Amino acid sequence: MINTDALCHFFINNRKWVFWVLLAVVATAAIQFPKIQTDTDPENMLPTTDLDRQYHNQVKETFALHDSLVIGIVNPDSIYHPKTLAKLVKVTEFIDGLDSVVHQDILSLATVDNISQKEPGTIQFEWMMKTPPQSDERAQQIRSQVSRLPFLRNTIVSIDEKAATIYVPLIDKNTSFKTANEIRRYIDSLESDSLDNDQWHITGLPVAEDQFGHEMFVQMGISAPLAGLVIFILLWVFFRNIPFITAPMIIAMATVIITMGTLIAFGFTVHIMSSMIAIFLMPIAVVDSVHFLSEFSDNYKKDSDVKEVLSEVVGRLFQPMLFTSITSSIGFYSLLLTPIPPVQIFGAFVGTGILLAFALTIIFLPAYISQLNSKNLEKLIEINPDSEDSKIAGSVRRFGQIANSNTKIWYLVFIAISGISAYGISKIEINDNPVRWFKPDHQIRIADQVLNHHFAGTYDAYIVLEQPKNHTQALINITSDFESKHTLQSEFKNILDEFVNNLEKPDSNLTSTVDDTLFALEDFSFLDISEEQLKLSQDFALQLEEFLENTKPFLNPSNLSYIADLQEYLNTTGLVGKSNSLSDIVKTVNRELHSGSSEDFRLPNSNPAVAQTLLQYQSSHRPQDLWHFVTRDYSQSLVWLQLTSGDNKDMQQVINKVDEYIAANPLPAGMDYHWAGKAYLNLIWQEKMVAGMFDSLSGAFILVFLIMALLFRSFVFGAVAMLPLSLSIAFIYGIIGIIGKDYDMPIAVLSALTLGISVDFAIHFIERLRVNYRQLDNWNLAIKAMFEEPGRAITRNAIVIAIGFTPLLFAPLVPYITVGVLLASIMAISAVATLIMIPSVLKPFHKRVFN
Amino acid sequence: MKLKKITQCVILSVLAAAQSAVAQVDDEHARSIVQQAEMASYYAGNDGRSLARMIITDGNGQKQIRQFTILRQDVEDRGDQNLMVFFSRPSDVRDTVFRVLKHTTQDDDRWLYLPGLDLVKRISAGDKRTSFVGSHFFYEDVSGRNTEEDYFELLEENDEFYTIKAVPKNLSSVEFTHYIVNIEKSSMLPRKIEFYDAKDRLYRRVESLKIENIDGHPTVLHSRVEDLLNGGATEMQFRFVEYDLGLPETLFSERSLRTPPRRWLKIKG
């Protein structure tokens, strides 16, 4: 066992060193702060190695998709007014002037093409609205043109024609908050005319995420100091001695600064989770000090030797404090079992921060108190917070009486609560939505609501259909087959050898390689060569071309028709506002190539016909739009789903529906499908989080139980110690299920870590109960004694932690509020549960258990 | 009556002067240089043929190819012109034909033949600055921008180049506010054209990368257009360029859309 006496004296005697070293460490940590980097990208909830995330990013790259802001203009009458449209043009032009946007992909009435038959039998691409319409007639003309184009309808102009959007793709999504603000400022500068009733909104997941990051900073700047202040006031209420309570404040601040400084110095980004580190550490760091100070003020008498009293206190508290610190940190460390990097970082740093706070309490507190003058210390005794007639004392005593009677009823109550909790937990709905991280009156929430009311949806998910076949090998075979059958001129042979070489390169692009070879073969055919070699080169070129044509599944009308059917089905689910695909493009262009009327809104009947239709589509002002829906080799095609809800549960349902559909209507042979898009990715990390949390929770449960068993050297006490907090946590989650609050990220994360914090009560209670029982050898007396000083200490600590978290209730962001409410209630409930449950559960068995 | 005419005349010339003072310098010397360049670029010989390859690269380096044969016949130098573009690759657009009757005093007539749909379609007059089959070239780059549409100003002249600034007469018909063209004195071909948008950003550049003398005509064999705003470029190479083949006028007819004139398209054999 550690010689705490020597330890304590050592630190007291070298207290100058203690102070200077602590100051140096804190200063070193503090100077790391300017290097802080925030990260609000929910994508980072998944590790960069995650397959779904990698696939999502690969899809974004393949189809040149960028995260987009969605700017909306709403006019309660109609957007087809020259004035409103003029503003839309102006704002679009302003946006095009920004460096942070992908210019060619800005989607607005002012940037898209109209494809039409200006005169019968002709076809034309023209800007839909390059300049603002000067008359109502022109505005109405635009209106009728838009209504003919399925791509624009309900995407950039709402069905009710009261809203229009500008999709602003960003080169780097991390600039979305800045870009959104620039646009907002510009829009505000437009709003000089008070007569119009156009309203502007800005939404889109990237802006929500980036804005969240911004507010997170504000939040950290407010909540953490506020938590410090609340704790300071509480300590003042308990001890009424400023120099005395300065010590725990120093410990709390030092813990927070060192932990955060280390996190920043290690290069970790501050994520939504890690931004809460300060607010978690502060109350927990103070708890050990509260025990220490209470114990000290109980034992310090006038004229006693400060050093001796301190040494005694350290000796008595070292073990329980160590164990409670270890169990608390285990609660946080258990988050390492959840495969969500920001959650792991949070767990690791808070866990370590708790151990640091313990070390500081043991090292710094004695050194600090030993240098206080005796006048200060004597004042402390006058207001002993543990006085037996305080308000807390009375309530705690009554508690004890209730707990120690009516055992049978209590058992029934516990069983009933378990039942209700089980029922509630079964009702829990797992769901999250980053936009809901803002309060309902936040401009982002309002924009989200308004735009999704008018439009088919601003949440994106993608279905990618593909035909994954290894064509490379087939081509190599064709080539070597050809080479072996014919005698080829050396230039010809070289072309084929290089072709095979290029095909064998790991990152070769098949279509490009074939195209290059076709060019080379053609060049060869113009050399001075024999008829036979010419014919051979043409034959081989033809073989290659045929091969290429046959490996372009998405020029095949039957495959496009499958996509169209799937889209039609999606429309019937009521979950997908709208979907856009290659099939829509082909049908629209085909219509304009033919009669222009709806009977020609169909797919042409051959691959070349589709290819030629698309060649026409590419003759617009925006030829690159095609490549958002199909790859250049036509082997992959993307269906863009617009969802009106960013709720993960809705995304899940869409996936289920698509699965069902595909099960009933099998994909064309050899075809495969995958999901991508932000809405999908959010669902994936949520799933991993839920599964991971189960691991964390069970991991923490087992470890804490083992430590309890080790501490009490008894499995029975270990089990009893786990009971109150298990019931509390089950109860809280049961209530969440019953009131229908979604089980989202903050709620998931809290389950495991509260286990570690709330077991502290049980540790202190059982430890003291065993001592009391041994001394008094009478159950009722022991329990009565328990509801004196130990009961008050537990109550006080529960109050410190619970109230310490309440500043979170004033946070502007919902997850922080959730954390605040949940932690405060778990602390309160598990303190009550501990005080009631342990006596009443043990009562019938106390003789057997204690002897 | 006479007085009225004179007043009208005065008013008109004042207006014109005011317009050029405010809007644009139009320099006759510069115009004649541009016209010579137009002649060299689009009207060499009485007719011509070339095999073109286009490699379209987007901002991410993804590529597409196009291959086609261009047949051209001038009705009149710097005047009307017939143009046929026969696509041969990618193979699924093979035999797609683009036909232009270029006019200097009215809008061009443009047709399209899509063999897969067996459809001849007329392209409406109007915006010619749309993509030419998905490339970074515009239709107008292929057929030539009418010199009457711009004001010209000679900015600089040295031993090698004329540097001329062009400003469109009708700003709303185009996406640029001006362009600056470097015309090479030795060939009288534009070597580089740089386009600026309303925000005065240089967003587009067309360059002649390789010029050779063919049958006495300086000829661009390799050109490139770059999208400087979004990245991406299209390279166009011309091979087997021939002039004065004696292409029959009947070849440039609607009939040739459906039945390609194999004889004139065959480069070899």
Does A104 reach chain B within 8 Å, measured CB to CB? yes
Q: Could you give the percent of chain A with pLDDT greater than 90?
A: 43
Cα–Cα distance for residue pair A598/A240, rounded to 1 Å: 83
Residue A506 has pLDDT above 90, yes or no: no
- Domain limits for position B212: 30-265
Distances (CA, A) of B25 to A533, B155, B164: 60, 11, 12
Furthest-apart CA atoms within chain B: distance in Å: 72
Cα–Cα distance for residue pair B15/B155, rounded to 1 Å: 25
Q: What is the CA radius of gyration of chain B?
A: 20
- Clarify whether residues A524 and A571 are in a common domain: no
| A612–B133 CB contact, under 8 Å | no
Q: A604 in the Ramachandran plot: left (φ > 0), alpha (ψ -120 to 50) or beta?
A: beta
CA nearest to A206, candidates A374, A70, A334, A304: A70
Query: Is residue B129 within 8 Å of residue B175, measured between CB atoms?
Result: yes
- Residue A229 belongs to some domain of the structure: no
CA nearest to A544, candidates B101, B148, B90: B90
Laid out side by side, the sheet with A459-466 consists of: A576-580, A636-643, A459-466, A672-676
Q: How far apart are the first and last CA of chain A?
A: 25
Does A610 reach chain B within 8 Å, measured CB to CB? yes
State how far residue A57 is from chain B, nearest Cα, in angstroms: 14
Which residue in chain A is spatially nearest to B131 when comparing CA positions? A619
State how far residue A610 is from chain B, nearest Cα, in angstroms: 8
Mark which residues 535-564 of A lie under 8 Å from B by CB. Answer: 545-546, 548-549, 552, 555
State how far residue B5 is from chain A, nearest Cα, in angstroms: 33
| B112–A616 CB contact, under 8 Å | yes
Interface probe for A, chosen from B68, B114, B128 (most Cβ of A below 10 Å), is B114
Which residue in chain B is spatially nearest to A604 when comparing CA positions? B117
| A619–B132 CB contact, under 8 Å | yes
Residue A193's pLDDT band (cuts 50, 70, 90): low
- Residue A131 belongs to some domain of the structure: yes
| A618–B133 CB contact, under 8 Å | yes
Residue B70 has pLDDT above 50, yes or no: yes
Number of domains in chain B: 1
- Residue B5 belongs to some domain of the structure: no
- Domain containing residue B91: CATH number: 2.50.20.10
- Residue B21 belongs to some domain of the structure: no
Which residue in chain A is spatially nearest to B139 when comparing CA positions? A619
| B112–A123 CB contact, under 8 Å | yes
Does A413 reach chain B within 8 Å, measured CB to CB? no
Summarize the confidence of residues B189-203 as an average pLDDT.
95
Residue B21 has pLDDT above 50, yes or no: no
Residue A382 has pLDDT above 80, yes or no: no
- Domain limits for position A496: 471-550
Residue A692's pLDDT band (cuts 50, 70, 90): confident
- Residue A230 belongs to some domain of the structure: no
| B116–A126 CB contact, under 8 Å | no
Q: Which of A97, A122, A611 sits opposite B123 (nearest CB)?
A: A122
| B127–A608 CB contact, under 8 Å | no
- Clarify whether residues A32 and A135 are in a common domain: no
Q: Could you give the percent of chain B with pLDDT greater than 90?
A: 73
- Residue A788 belongs to some domain of the structure: yes
Domain boundary among A153, A181, A207: A207
pLDDT at A383: 60
CB contacts, 8 Å: A626 with chain B:
134
Residue B18's pLDDT band (cuts 50, 70, 90): very low
Q: Which of A124, A511, A519 sits opposite B53 (nearest CB)?
A: A519
CB contacts, 8 Å: B89 with chain A:
515, 518, 545
- Residue B153 belongs to some domain of the structure: yes
State how far residue A48 is from chain B, nearest Cα, in angstroms: 21
- Clarify whether residues A733 and A814 are in a common domain: yes
CB contacts, 8 Å: B53 with chain A:
519
Residue B14 has pLDDT above 60, yes or no: no
Strands (E), A395-507: 459-466
| B63–A593 CB contact, under 8 Å | no
Helix residue ranges per DSSP H, A304-442: 306-333, 341-370, 374-382, 391-403, 407-426
Residue A88 has pLDDT above 70, yes or no: yes
Please report the DSSP string for B52-91 in residue order: EEEEEEETTS-EEEEEEEEEEEESSTTS-EEEEEEEEESG
pLDDT at A420: 95
Q: Scanning the structure block, which residue is given the tokens 């003398």?
A: B213
- Clarify whether residues A725 and A763 are in a common domain: yes
Q: Scanning the structure block, which residue is given the tokens 């689009």?
A: B42
Residue A472's pLDDT band (cuts 50, 70, 90): confident
Encoding tokens for residue A78? 């109609």
Residue B94 has pLDDT above 50, yes or no: yes
Interface probe for A, chosen from B51, B69, B131, B266 (most Cβ of A below 10 Å), is B131
- Residue A647 belongs to some domain of the structure: yes
| A619–B119 CB contact, under 8 Å | no
pLDDT at A813: 85
What digits encode the pLDDT tens for the residues A714-737?
899 899 999 998 999 899 999 999
| B119–A593 CB contact, under 8 Å | yes
Summarize the confidence of residues A686-700 as an average pLDDT.
85
Nearest 5°: phi and psi at A241? Answer: -150, 105
What digits encode the pLDDT tens for the residues B27-63?
899 999 999 999 999 999 999 999 999 999 998 888 9
- Residue B13 belongs to some domain of the structure: no
Summarize the confidence of residues A646-651 as an average pLDDT.
90
Number of domains in chain A: 5
Query: Is residue A126 within 8 Å of residue A75, measured between CB atoms?
Result: no
At A519, is the secondary structure helix, strand, or coil? helix
In this prediction the ipTM stands at 0.90
Domain boundary among A207, A224, A249: A207
CB contacts, 8 Å: A627 with chain B:
58, 62
Summarize the confidence of residues A306-318 as an average pLDDT.
87
pLDDT at A101: 95
| B130–A620 CB contact, under 8 Å | yes
- Residue B126 belongs to some domain of the structure: yes
Q: Could you give the percent of chain B with pLDDT greater than 70?
A: 90
Cα–Cα distance for residue pair A455/A201, rounded to 1 Å: 13
Residue B88 has pLDDT above 70, yes or no: yes
State how far residue A97 is from chain B, nearest Cα, in angstroms: 7
Encoding tokens for residue A564? 């169209």
Return the minimum-mean-pLDDT range out of A274-283, A299-308, A557-566, A582-591. Answer: A299-308
- Clarify whether residues A706 and A806 are in a common domain: yes
CB contacts, 8 Å: A525 with chain B:
268
| B116–A594 CB contact, under 8 Å | no
- Residue A226 belongs to some domain of the structure: no
- Clarify whether residues A697 and A620 are in a common domain: no
Cβ contacts of A663-669, under 8 Å, gap ≥ 24: A665/A562, A665/A565, A665/A566, A667/A465, A667/A562, A668/A553, A668/A558, A668/A559, A668/A562
CB contacts, 8 Å: B59 with chain A:
64
CA nearest to A770, candidates A851, A664, A840: A851
- Residue B4 belongs to some domain of the structure: no
| B127–A125 CB contact, under 8 Å | yes
pLDDT at B6: 53
For chains A and B, CB pairs below 8 A equal 135
- Residue B14 belongs to some domain of the structure: no
Statement: the pTM of the whole predicted model exceeds 0.80: yes
- Domain containing residue A247: CATH number: 1.20.1640.10
Return the minimum-mean-pLDDT range out of A174-183, A574-583, B21-30. Answer: B21-30
Does A126 reach chain B within 8 Å, measured CB to CB? yes
Summarize the confidence of residues A413-436 as an average pLDDT.
90
- Clarify whether residues A290 and A329 are in a common domain: yes
| A594–B119 CB contact, under 8 Å | yes
CB contacts, 8 Å: A555 with chain B:
92
Residue B148 has pLDDT above 70, yes or no: yes
Query: Is residue A397 within 8 Å of residue A389, measured between CB atoms?
Result: no
- Residue A439 belongs to some domain of the structure: no
| B91–A549 CB contact, under 8 Å | yes
Summarize the confidence of residues A479-499 as an average pLDDT.
91
Summarize the confidence of residues B232-261 as an average pLDDT.
93
Mark which residues 60-79 of B lie under 8 Å from A by CB. Answer: 60, 62-65
Summarize the confidence of residues B211-225 as an average pLDDT.
96
Q: Scanning the structure block, which residue is given the tokens 């006031």?
A: A233
CB contacts, 8 Å: B116 with chain A:
604, 606-613
Q: A568 in the Ramachandran plot: left (φ > 0), alpha (ψ -120 to 50) or beta?
A: alpha
- Residue B24 belongs to some domain of the structure: no
Provide CB contacts within 8 A for B56, sequence distance 6+: B63, B64, B65, B66, B134, B135, B136, B232, B234
Nearest 5°: phi and psi at B115? Answer: -65, -35
Mean pLDDT across chain A, nearest whole number?
A: 88
Residue A206's pLDDT band (cuts 50, 70, 90): confident
CA nearest to A350, candidates A250, A459, A453, A273: A273
Does A826 reach chain B within 8 Å, measured CB to CB? no
CA nearest to A707, candidates A688, A694, A721, A697: A721
Residue A808's pLDDT band (cuts 50, 70, 90): confident
| B116–A608 CB contact, under 8 Å | yes
Mark which residues 483-522 of A lie under 8 Å from B by CB. Answer: 509, 511-512, 515, 518-519
At A28, is the secondary structure helix, strand, or coil? helix
Domain boundary among A676, A695, A725: A676
pLDDT at A243: 86
CB contacts, 8 Å: B63 with chain A:
509, 511-512, 515, 632
Q: Which of B114, B240, B268 sits opposite A612 (nearest CB)?
A: B114
Query: Is residue A129 within 8 Å of residue A89, measured between CB atoms?
Result: yes
What digits encode the pLDDT tens for the residues A756-799?
878 888 888 888 888 888 888 888 899 988 888 788 878 888 88
| A618–B131 CB contact, under 8 Å | yes
What digits encode the pLDDT tens for the residues A92-124?
999 999 999 999 999 999 999 998 887 777 888
Sign, CA dihedral A557-A559-A563-A566, equals positive
- Clarify whether residues A844 and A755 are in a common domain: yes
Residue B8 has pLDDT above 60, yes or no: no
Encoding tokens for residue A794? 């537990």
Mark which residues 164-223 of B lie under 8 Å from A by CB. Answer: 172, 198-199
Which residue in chain B is spatially nearest to A603 when comparing CA positions? B117
Interface probe for B, chosen from A515, A528, A547, A629 (most Cβ of B below 10 Å), is A515
- Clarify whether residues A648 and A634 are in a common domain: yes
